[in-house]
Structure 1
Amino acid sequence: MMDLILAYIVRVMVWLSGLARPLAKLGIGRYESYTPGQPLKILLVGYNGARNTGADARVVALTQQLEQTMGADKAELTVMTLDLENVKGYFTGAVHLLHFSSVFIFSLVRACSRHHAAILCEGSTLTPTFAEALCVFFCEAAGIMHRQGKPCIAYGSEVGKLSGWLAKLSRDLCCDTYFMVRTEESLRNLQQLGLKGHVGTDTAWTFQSPEGESWALQQLKEAGWDGRQPLMGVAPLNPFCWPVRPSVWRWLKALITRDFSQQYDKIYFFSDNATRRQLFERYLTAMADATNRYSREHNAFVVIFGMEKLDARVCDQLEQRIASKHAVFTSKTSDVFKMTGLLRQLNILLTSRYHASVLSMERAIPIVAVSIDARLNGIMNEVGLAQQYLHHATDEHLEEGIMTSLQMAGEHEQEIGNNIRQHLTIYKNKTEAMSQYYAKWLKEQF
């Protein structure tokens, strides 16, 4: 209900955003109109600053791709961030940062009004897996740009199967937004909404971190790795605490009881009930037991990854169940370069995080995935690993399935590596084609 109310408020804000230009002429607020010859002011609308390794890697790589393709003299990039400190050192000096709050309805109007074009740069652009409010956020940005007659594109995005009010909101506010989606499934979902686009890929394929890799080797040795043991990575999450939903009632209850354990941010709370907790316990047990068996049989050193700041609690719970030598690294304390550097030291990866797989594939290591949605399903299918190495968090015999896949991965390491290397070249070529397409598309808009 709260998300639906938010959607109605957003529709009103989108309509009001059309008044930004005449109000600016009266000296109320700021509004940017493009003048030929000046650099285009491009706003990157995403989920940055929350210490989500994948979200940050995507946008760092995207800004590098656009700077290389368009040139700093022709485009002035601004990245929206929830926390300025959390993205410190991520971007070149030519990239501007703009702070915004998770209560975004007003800040989006101000940000869009001050730019000539917008890029929706979060992977989960129109997917309700994590939060319907996240979809509403991107719909508002797209709607404002449409209302103000400015171009907007979704870049390397995922589009889920939407229905009801969220599907209608997306159709209405994204009607003029062009989508470069990550997968064929996303394109089909996009077309069912009546929106336009084509298949590209994720932007993080070109992300590089040489300094992070040097740092990672030293940190692993300090954590107890002998430099010879195989490194097994595990990137868990809580698949059953999503989606996040706004609730004034739960916020008031938390204030009274002083129990904020289920709070995501402000009035947003994780999904929680006895069934979800039971499913998570089963998932965590399967991940831990399979990891212990594999590390014991292969004398592997285990590296636990918290790819998002929110995963730190899950990593703590998993660590308590790991019997072998291990280390824990989370994005709460390690930035995107360090986390990527660590991923690229591994010999094998067990992951429920999409970008753990993307960022590790630079080294073409075997990957076993435990999926919660279409993102890992898509990439594992694309690289030909789904049949033997893809599982789902709700699988009945999850531990045995994971263990079988881990053993097979070790036996077919070369074959898996060849598959990944072949597709990695394709993905990188696609990112280049996407930036070229965007530069051409943007030129046509002006």
Structure 2
Amino acid sequence: MTATLSSFLADDATRSMAALQRYVNAPDPDAVFLDDMLERIEAARRRPCPPRPRTGRALRVLLLSYAGAGNTGADLRTIQTIRHLQRLFGERGERDEGLRIELFALGDLFDHPVLAATPRMPVQLPYVPDAFAAAIPDYDLVLNVEGSTYTSKFSDSLSGMLIGGVALASAAGAVGPAGAAGVPGAANGDAQVRGVAWGIDSGEMTDALARFARAAATGAHIFCRNDAAREHLASLDIASLPGADCAWSWTPVRTARVAALPANYVALCPNNPFWWPVTADVARAKALDTQRASSPLRYGPFHFHTWDDAREAAYDAYVERFAGLAERFRKQGFPPVLVAMERLDRAACEDIAARVPFDVPIMARGTATLDDVAGTVAHAARVVTTRYHAAVVAIASRVPVFGLSMDARIDRLLTEGGFPGWFARCTDPDGGERALARLCQPQPAIDALRDAYALLARREQMRLGQMGEWLAAAVGRR
């Protein structure tokens, strides 16, 4: 019997490796990935798992995220979700074994104790759709905790993984308590909580991703962090619920590295807005490996950032804009500190620093910890950012912030929060001047802004609490 099981698993691994090779060698790898993920979802819908008893065992939860890649926003969301789940389900009753959380992560940087202590999902098959299809039915609940989900901005394969994982959980049919408030089917006594998207956002999508998202939405519970995302999903016939970003509950610390920064500093949080999306190019990767060469555009084993002359020119103007801001803020009494919210952002910080005629500190993930980086934003006097979660951390900490946005996320945050004049596109030639004018207003205006931030933060934290109440009722506390 053991030999038969080993043979079965070996056959699965062989098929999965063949599927992986087909994906990476396809002319359009993202389209292949979406098709493969949808095929696994439809297969799971044809064979849903039987209900499992809630009592007598741990509640098993899988988190899908971008954690581990060195992205501060993604890590903050994941950490705060773990803490929220522990408060909700950590002590589920004398008849239960509590809560077990596992993490599907994309990277190996876990420089925070909560992330370091969270077990990883065992990956038994080489191709993600197969690995998910095999593993996800064993979980009671799957939460997608990555914010940038319904968008083609970064990678259709990444979005397909996040959306598809939730859909596979929904198809598996993890059963919640009958009659749970707010859960579809509760009136019939067969309420189910399956896959949940936890405070997510949307953006421009390719036709292929939009079709996939619509096909995968059945049974999923989707909480959006802004009204614009809900409207966008509604246009695709995807139902959603109001929610909030998981990072609103973050409480920063003042680390020794933050305390050593100059007084009254402005935190400048750039990235490279112009080299997305990433796409698979296995021939290019093999050529580099054969030559033992590297490329600054390479992202992982097979993927590469998008780059051309027009993108390079736009990036050069963007870097110049931030360098000008650094000099002008310094003259206004705000010494600049460059913050790399993701490891990838360090190159942009270094490019900006090279254009400034004085030394500028750089606080970057990878060489600085998550607490150092998030704390640098939270304890600044002012913030200018292209990174969404730098804006969230700043507002939650009552730090005046101006967004130089690369997509709709910061625009939605500030517009729906009541601050529509506090952002510009990162390509706007006058974006720097507008940031300086807003952030250097007289003190009474800044004080009023901080008071408004406090109200917004409380509202978002209340929404987070409501999301938790929904989940507790749906899954059952014991």
TM (normalized to structure 2)?
A: 0.82
The 5 Å alignment of 1:342-357 reads: 342-357=376-391
Give 1:434's aligned amino acid. Answer: M
* CA deviation after TM superposition for structure 1 residue 56, in Å: 0.5
Give 1:357's aligned amino acid. Answer: A
The 5 Å alignment of 1:183-194 reads: 183-194=226-237
Give 2:249's aligned amino acid. Answer: T
CA root-mean-square deviation: 2.6
Query: How many Å separate the matches in 2 of 1:179 and 1:102?
Result: 28
SS in 2 for 1:65: helix
Q: Structure 1 vs Structure 2: percent identity of aligned residues?
A: 19
User: Retained in 1: the 8 A contact 2:363–2:372?
Assistant: no
Query: How many Å separate the matches in 2 of 1:351 and 1:366?
Result: 11
1:417: which partner in 2?
A: 450
* CA deviation after TM superposition for structure 1 residue 410, in Å: 6.2
82-91 or 5-14, larger mean C-alpha shift: 82-91
Query: How many Å separate the matches in 2 of 1:32 and 1:122?
Result: 28
1:215: which partner in 2?
A: 256
2:244: which partner in 1?
A: 201
Deviations 1:112-167 (A, max 9, x none): 13212211110011111111111111132123223322300100001224352211
Structure 2 residue runs of 5 or longer lacking an equivalent are 1-27, 93-97, 175-193
Alignment counterpart, residue 327 of structure 2, candidates 274, 278, 292: 292
Alignment counterpart, residue 151 of structure 2, candidates 107, 124, 127: 127
Does residue 291 of structure 2 align to residue 230 of structure 1?
Answer: no
* CA deviation after TM superposition for structure 1 residue 9, in Å: 2.0
Alignment counterpart, residue 81 of structure 1, candidates 105, 108, 130: 105
The 5 Å alignment of 1:288-437 reads: 288-298=323-333, 300-387=334-421, 389-408=422-441, 412-437=445-470
SS in 2 for 1:408: coil
Deviations 1:84-117 (A, max 9, x none): 5525512495x43336699623332233132122
1:438: which partner in 2?
A: 471
Q: Against the structure 1 CA distance between its residues 85 and 111, is the aligned structure 2 distance closer, same or farther, given a 3 Å change threshold? A: farther
User: Retained in 2: the 8 A contact 1:301–1:324?
Assistant: no
* CA deviation after TM superposition for structure 1 residue 15, in Å: 4.3
SS in 2 for 1:98: coil
SS in 1 for 2:255: helix
* CA deviation after TM superposition for structure 1 residue 385, in Å: 2.3
Does residue 299 of structure 2 align to residue 264 of structure 1?
Answer: yes
Does residue 284 of structure 2 align to residue 250 of structure 1?
Answer: yes
1:113: which partner in 2?
A: 137
Alignment counterpart, residue 128 of structure 2, candidates 97, 104, 115: 104
Give 1:201's aligned amino acid. Answer: A
* CA deviation after TM superposition for structure 1 residue 267, in Å: 1.3
2:208: which partner in 1?
A: 165
Query: How many Å separate the matches in 2 of 1:441 and 1:409?
Result: 49
1:24: which partner in 2?
A: none
Give 1:214's aligned amino acid. Answer: T
1:41: which partner in 2?
A: 60
User: Retained in 2: the 8 A contact 1:118–1:153?
Assistant: yes
User: Retained in 1: the 8 A contact 2:69–2:108?
Assistant: no
SS in 2 for 1:179: strand
Deviations 1:54-76 (A, max 9, x none): 00101111111121122344432
Does residue 104 of structure 2 align to residue 63 of structure 1?
Answer: no
* CA deviation after TM superposition for structure 1 residue 194, in Å: 1.4
360-369 or 180-189, larger mean C-alpha shift: 360-369
SS in 2 for 1:90: helix
Deviations 1:296-333 (A, max 9, x none): 232x2211110011111111111112334531111112
Deviations 1:217-246 (A, max 9, x none): 4442xxxx3xxx311100000110011111
Query: How many Å separate the matches in 2 of 1:138 and 1:283?
Result: 31
106-115 or 41-50, larger mean C-alpha shift: 106-115
Q: Against the structure 1 CA distance between its residues 374 and 103, is the aligned structure 2 distance closer, same or farther, given a 3 Å change threshold? A: farther
Query: How many Å separate the matches in 2 of 1:164 and 1:363?
Result: 39
61-70 or 405-414, larger mean C-alpha shift: 405-414
Runs of 4+ in structure 1 deviating by more than 4 angstroms, as ranges, are 15-21, 99-103
* CA deviation after TM superposition for structure 1 residue 10, in Å: 1.8
330-339 or 40-49, larger mean C-alpha shift: 330-339
Give 1:248's aligned amino acid. Answer: V
User: Retained in 1: the 8 A contact 2:59–2:99?
Assistant: yes
Query: How many Å separate the matches in 2 of 1:82 and 1:346?
Result: 30
SS in 2 for 1:209: coil
Give 2:221's aligned amino acid. Answer: Y
201-210 or 5-14, larger mean C-alpha shift: 5-14
55-64 or 330-339, larger mean C-alpha shift: 330-339
Structure 1 residue runs of 5 or longer lacking an equivalent are 22-30
SS in 2 for 1:176: coil
1:279: which partner in 2?
A: 314
Does residue 40 of structure 2 align to residue 13 of structure 1?
Answer: yes
302-311 or 65-74, larger mean C-alpha shift: 65-74
User: Retained in 1: the 8 A contact 2:62–2:143?
Assistant: yes
Query: How many Å separate the matches in 2 of 1:118 and 1:284?
Result: 39
Query: How many Å separate the matches in 1 of 2:114 and 2:134?
Result: 24
Query: How many Å separate the matches in 2 of 1:16 and 1:88?
Result: 38
SS in 1 for 2:229: helix
2:275: which partner in 1?
A: 241
User: Retained in 2: the 8 A contact 1:79–1:96?
Assistant: yes
237-246 or 353-362, larger mean C-alpha shift: 353-362
Give 2:136's aligned amino acid. Answer: C
SS in 1 for 2:437: helix
1:53: which partner in 2?
A: 72
* CA deviation after TM superposition for structure 1 residue 359, in Å: 1.4
Query: How many Å separate the matches in 1 of 2:30 and 2:322?
Result: 33
User: Retained in 2: the 8 A contact 1:245–1:270?
Assistant: yes
Deviations 1:161-202 (A, max 9, x none): 435221111111122111110010000111112122211110
